[in-house]
């Protein structure tokens, strides 16, 4: 992959990717696999045996487990070696996020600490801040928390009222305000706090130690799920924050918050993989033990359908997660050549892929919700019992559609960010969309006589992209600057973009697997069903968007093109799903 072209964020809409230029999970090296196994071993030894106690809001227990993970080096995976960490690649960081993601509320505490609680200082801190705080955070001597949301400022973070005023001697900022939904705050040592300095219109960021006088930590919130995670309100009453604890530049807080959210979103896309794999393994083990009408329920076609759908959605999501993870690694290496500050180069590389981060956040969280829900259904009445892990997994999964910006916000970001990047000249979205629209009358049913398997899939995916481009062109032409207010239409386009990116990632992965495995029949089954289902999702989303416009003479031609471009060859989905389920049932755990 030496000559790999690194696509810009959103560029997948107008570019083709060579399968040899993508990274797939089957390529993890021995060291990466050992790190991931260490994470899984830690969950088995330290987390699962005490989950019931953790869910009683036992702050000290969660803190002690976090510190144990730090002693083993798990919290230092993303931290550069010069600050006491292991400086692992972004792909490895994502693999760790996946492995820890099976840890229920511990995974939330861990990710909050090692991610948004530590990395803002790694990425934006000055030399003093990095040297003073990061080594302690890297080994969990200090526990970190992130304080952005306020009672009146959720998705609109810049509406926050928390204020900082320079002291008369200019040695401190006097901080006043309130934060809510602060993960780990019940036992955190350092808080990343966002506030406006004086009458600034935009936020600044500060490193605040919880021991500072005037910092008041509220009791843990009672939540639907992730009950073991400490989530509190924090009050700042005339807190004196040393001026050297201003993180980044004055007024840079909003940019810091947005970029850290990009990181949080993409890592959430990895953590849900671990939770989903555990839920699927729990599902098939139960199906292989539970008998009804004298036979195992794993022999029932309806149950096999559920198991197969769990696998298809997870395997597809995983393909997209590690595809973009390697793209980020490549972008990091590229930016570090030109940037003296490697921390800022790292976060710029992550934030560069804002479109894909939003895609993975939405798609991954909704995938996990589906998998967790089906796990409960496979367990039947027992799935509703608090005795079973799937009950906890079901409750815990729901927060992911709210975390790191709601899925509603992120769906809008998928489209808006891609279009803004195109306007900046990152790639030619609008030119290609207009050219395609102007030749709609030339779009006719494909007449393919001889076509290889992956050529066919590539053609389908290319056609899906054409549908997206046509819809974007028509929507922009119709609404111009007012398109931002047409959220339903933007959601239609976002759904098409997400499904297409994931399907393409899956197709590229399976194409790679053909060169690595003797028999990839079951993986082709996964791809076949995915493409078959995606075509219908694309068709409906596109038609929903177009039919939302005022009826005009162009609609009939556009709808005809959509129908043609979303036609795919019929497959025996029942047989394909049964083969997928049979492998899962035979393995008795997720081993795809």
Half-sphere exposure for 430 (CA within 13 Å, toward CB): 14
Q: Assess contact for 192 and 205: CB atoms under 8 A.
A: yes
Burial of 205 (0-12, 13-18, 19+ CB in 10 A): buried
Q: How big is the chain by its Cα radius of gyration, in Å? A: 24
Q: Any idea what DSSP says for residue 315?
A: H
Q: Assess contact for 241 and 164: CB atoms under 8 A.
A: yes
CA 368/CA 366 separation, integer angstroms? 5
Angle of helix 487-514 versus helix 301-338 axis, rounded to 10: 90
Q: Assess contact for 545 and 471: CB atoms under 8 A.
A: yes
CA 367/CA 270 separation, integer angstroms? 12
Active site residue 404: yes
Q: Any idea what DSSP says for residue 88?
A: -
Q: Which of 20, 583, 119, 37 is nearest to 311 (CA)?
A: 583
Q: Any idea what DSSP says for residue 66?
A: H
Burial of 452 (0-12, 13-18, 19+ CB in 10 A): exposed
Beta bridge partners of residue 177, listed in sequence order? 236
Instruction: Show contacts of 439-445: CB within 8 Å, 24+ apart.
Output: 440/470, 440/557, 440/558, 440/561, 441/557, 443/560, 443/561, 443/564, 443/565, 444/564, 445/564, 445/567
The DSSP-derived string for 510-561 is HHHHHTT-S--HHHHHHHHHHHHHHHHHHHHHHHHHHHTSPP-HHHHHHHHH
Residue 343, both tokens = 């921390």
Q: Any idea what DSSP says for residue 150?
A: B
CA 116/CA 260 separation, integer angstroms? 7
Q: Assess contact for 582 and 502: CB atoms under 8 A.
A: no
Q: Which of 85, 471, 92 is nearest to 463 (CA)?
A: 471
Q: Assess contact for 7 and 327: CB atoms under 8 A.
A: yes
CA 307/CA 282 separation, integer angstroms? 11
Annotated catalytic residue within 404, 439, 455, 456: 404
Q: Assess contact for 444 and 564: CB atoms under 8 A.
A: yes
Q: Assess contact for 522 and 579: CB atoms under 8 A.
A: yes
Q: Phi first, then psi: give them for residue 136, nearest 5 degrees.
A: -75, -35
Residues 6+ apart with CB under 8 A from 154: none
Q: Assess contact for 356 and 502: CB atoms under 8 A.
A: no
What residues act catalytically?
404
């Amino acid at each position: 992959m030496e000559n790999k072209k690194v696509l810009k964020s959103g560029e997948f809409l107008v570019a083709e990717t060579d399968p040899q230029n993508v990274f797939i999970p089957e390529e993890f090296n021995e060291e990466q696999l050992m790190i991931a196994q260490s994470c899984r071993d830690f969950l088995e030894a330290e987390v699962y045996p005490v989950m019931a106690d953790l869910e009683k809001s036992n702050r000290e227990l969660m803190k002690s487990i976090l510190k144990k993970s730090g002693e083993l080096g798990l919290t230092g995976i993303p931290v550069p070696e010069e600050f006491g960490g292991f400086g692992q690649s972004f792909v490895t960081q994502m693999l760790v996020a996946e492995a820890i993601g099976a840890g229920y509320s511990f995974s939330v505490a861990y990710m909050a600490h090692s991610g948004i609680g530590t990395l803002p200082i790694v990425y934006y801190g000055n030399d003093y801040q990095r040297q003073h705080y990061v080594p302690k955070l890297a080994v969990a001597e200090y526990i970190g928390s992130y304080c952005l949301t306020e009672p009146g400022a959720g998705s609109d973070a810049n509406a926050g009222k928390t204020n900082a005023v320079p002291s008369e001697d200019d040695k401190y900022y006097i901080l006043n305000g309130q934060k809510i939904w602060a993960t780990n705050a019940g036992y955190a040592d350092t808080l990343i706090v966002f506030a406006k300095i004086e009458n600034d219109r935009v936020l600044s960021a500060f490193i605040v130690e919880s021991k500072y006088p005037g910092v008041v930590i509220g009791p843990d919130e009672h939540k639907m799920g992730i009950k073991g995670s400490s989530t509190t309100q924090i009050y700042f009453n005339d807190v004196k924050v040393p001026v050297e604890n201003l993180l980044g530049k004055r007024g840079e807080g909003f940019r810091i918050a947005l970029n850290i959210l990009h990181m949080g979103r993409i890592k959430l896309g990895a953590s849900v993989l671990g939770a989903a794999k555990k839920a699927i393994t729990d599902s098939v083990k139960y199906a292989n033990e539970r008998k009804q009408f004298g036979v195992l329920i794993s022999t029932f076609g309806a149950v096999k359908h559920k198991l197969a759908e769990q696998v298809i959605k997870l395997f597809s999501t995983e393909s997209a997660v590690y595809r973009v993870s390697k793209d980020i690694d490549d972008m990091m290496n590229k930016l570090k050549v030109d940037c003296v500050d490697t921390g800022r180069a790292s976060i710029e590389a992550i934030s560069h892929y804002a479109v894909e981060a939003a895609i993975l956040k939405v798609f991954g969280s909704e995938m996990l919700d589906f998998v967790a829900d089906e796990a409960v259904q496979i367990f039947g009445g027992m799935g509703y019992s608090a005795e079973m892990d799937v009950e906890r997994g079901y409750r815990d999964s729901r927060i992911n559609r709210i975390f790191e910006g709601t899925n509603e916000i992120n769906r809008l970001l998928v489209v808006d960010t891609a279009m803004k990047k195109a306007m900046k000249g990152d790639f030619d979205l609008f030119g290609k969309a207009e050219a395609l629209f102007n030749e709609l009358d030339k779009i006719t049913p494909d007449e393919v006589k001889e076509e290889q398997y992956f050529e066919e899939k590539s053609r389908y995916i290319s056609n899906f992209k054409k549908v997206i481009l046509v819809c974007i062109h028509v929507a922009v032409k119709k609404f111009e600057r007012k398109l931002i207010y047409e959220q339903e239409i933007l959601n239609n386009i976002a759904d098409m973009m997400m499904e297409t990116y994931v399907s393409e990632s899956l197709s590229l992965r399976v194409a790679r697997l053909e060169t690595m495995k003797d028999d990839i029949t079951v993986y082709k089954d996964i791809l076949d069903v995915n493409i078959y289902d995606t075509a219908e999702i694309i068709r409906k989303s596109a038609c929903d968007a177009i039919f939302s416009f005022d009826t005009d003479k162009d609609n009939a031609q556009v709808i005809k093109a959509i129908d043609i471009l979303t036609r795919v060859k019929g497959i025996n989905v029942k047989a394909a799903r049964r083969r997928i389920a049979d492998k899962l049932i035979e393995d008795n755990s997720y081993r795809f």
